[in-house]
Amino acid sequence: MALPADFLWGAALAANQCEGAYQEDGKGLSVADVMTAGTVDTPRRITTDVEAGVYYPNHDSVDFYHRYKEDIALFAQMGLKVLRLSIAWSRIFPEGDEIEPNERGLAFYRSVFAELKRYNIEPVVTLSHYEMPLGLVRKYGGWRDRRLVDFFARYCDVCFREFGDTVRYWLTFNEINVAEYNPWSPTGINMRPGDEGYWPTIYQAAYHQFVASAKAVIRAHEIDPGLKVGCMTLAGIVYPKTCHPLDAKAADDFQNDMLAFADVQVRGHLPSFLCKAMERRGVTLVREAGDDEILRAGTVDFVGFSYYSSMVQSGTETDAEKTGGNMVSGVKNPYLETSAWGWQLDPMGLRLTLRLLYNRYKKPLFVVENGLGAADEVVDGRVDDDYRIAYLRAHIAAMIDAVDEDGVDLMGYTPWSALDLVSAGTGEMKKRYGFIYVDRDNEGAGTLERIPKKSFFWYRGVIASNGTNL
Ligand code: BG6
């Protein structure tokens, strides 16, 4: 057992999925505020404005905005050493392009960080987690416009200066590579793969985020060289369906494609296979003088990633049976079970992902999301989520093996999610990930009461024993 004594055990949240209070204290609308509820079969609808009579689950979410003291006290009881949470950009710059920040938005996060400090819980802050200001979509078309680089830089500068004394760990863009597959939440661009002009728009937007991320790293280090800034990529090992060389190539293509954005953030330049993919997809990036130097100087200090599933790709069968997954999916793996939402469960895949990323990047890794979405039920006032404990136990064991036996340098683990919140993919409350149950349903009814689940008490023991008591 070789987890370091300072291993960052924690749990994760995102502002738009837990805070609610979507118009309070000067907050502007974000891209999450115009997403309706959906299900696994009915995609969430994106509306141009808030429509009367339509239910938007992120508007009130689970009311962390008013209940953060109670929630943080529970996180402290669980023994969390870190809490990964995000700052809603639209609380600080309601429209996104203002010159001066919204003081009331800053005050809220100041209080949240002070509360965490009271319990010695260290924040790990994502600067942009699927909640950019809607104003930037309306006026500029989202990240396709280069001016967003400067707006984001201003926002980051304010955050680092305001909170840099209490927040040491930062992540720039949540799952930056999701822009390729599902661009609305990460970039504010309402297009689907296959739409005309898709690739030139998406790659240009992603390129702007590469530059913005690098500038954020540079600025954080200027303000305080002790600040650690990481990237955050959706990750997962990709298996070939068979040992047929064409299957192996399809898997490798997909893997490289998936990691290409993190490659830029870690290595400071666009990998050649990404340039070739752009060429094939008819993309000519618009770049500015000085960008190469910014990308080179703004490489990240650590690699954060989410892991929910491994994936399978086939280069030989076009009609191979498909499976569901987080933002991306692939071919069904007959050896794996799936969650109730069709995501394949593969703890060994986490170990292989850790090996892959460490060998590729040689930088400290941080598992900033991993978890099981399930329709938990309260029975006699208790939530006995043994299936979640089994999931987390197997993934933590695989993670420890990666450290112990494979020599991976791993900083921490913040499973999704600290408490139940609105699902990003489907907008459901029913798809629960939390250690703490929240009494709220898909239609927004419920008392919002918090009930620690069985996994809460189990995870407390895991943290207290530094992973020896699984
Ligand atoms: C990640 C996101 O993609 O997966 C989270 O960073 C999200 O915001 C999590 O909630 C789980 O996905 P979902 O769709 O089940 O909420």
pLDDT value at residue 317: 87
Establish if 358 belongs to a structural domain. Answer: yes
Q: For the whole model, what pTM was predicted?
A: 0.97
Q: What is the domain extent for residue 267?
A: 8-464
State how beta strands 238-240 and 302-307 pair.
Answer: unpaired
Pocket of ligand 1 from Cβ distances under 6 Å: 14, 17, 130, 174-175, 306, 326-327, 369, 373, 416, 423-426, 431
Establish if 470 belongs to a structural domain. Answer: no
Establish if 297 belongs to a structural domain. Answer: yes
Please give the distance, rounded to the nearest whole angstrom, from the Cα atom of residue 425 to the centre of ligand 1: 6
Q: Spell out the residues 6+ positions from residue 446 whose beta carbon is closer than 8 angstroms to its own.
A: 429, 438, 439, 440
pLDDT value at residue 1: 64
Establish if 191 belongs to a structural domain. Answer: yes
Establish if 354 belongs to a structural domain. Answer: yes
Answer for the pair 158, 151: CB distance below 8 angstroms, yes or no: no
In this structure, the number of other CB atoms found within 10 A of the CB of residue 362 comes to 10
Q: How much of the chain exceeds pLDDT 90, in percent?
A: 95
Mean pLDDT of 42-63: 96
Please give the distance, rounded to the nearest whole angstrom, from the Cα atom of residue 377 to the centre of ligand 1: 20
From 58, 85, 326, give the residue whose CB has the most ligand 1 atoms within 8 Å, as the site to mutate: 326
From 176, 369, 417, give the residue whose CB has the most ligand 1 atoms within 8 Å, as the site to mutate: 369
| Tens-place pLDDT, residues 372-429 | 999 999 999 999 999 999 999 999 999 999 999 999 999 999 999 999 999 999 999 9
Establish if 1 belongs to a structural domain. Answer: no
Mean pLDDT of 318-334: 82
pLDDT value at residue 319: 82
Residue 321 — very low, low, confident or very high, per pLDDT cuts 50/70/90?
confident
- Total number of domains constituting the chain: 1
Establish if 425 belongs to a structural domain. Answer: yes
**DSSP 8-state class, residue 425:** T
| Tens-place pLDDT, residues 280-320 | 999 999 999 999 999 999 999 999 999 999 999 999 988 88
> Is the pLDDT assigned to residue 331 strictly greater than 80?
yes
Residue 119 CB burial class (10 angstroms; 0-12, 13-18, ≥19): middle
Establish if 3 belongs to a structural domain. Answer: no
User: At 275, which CATH number?
Assistant: 3.20.20.80
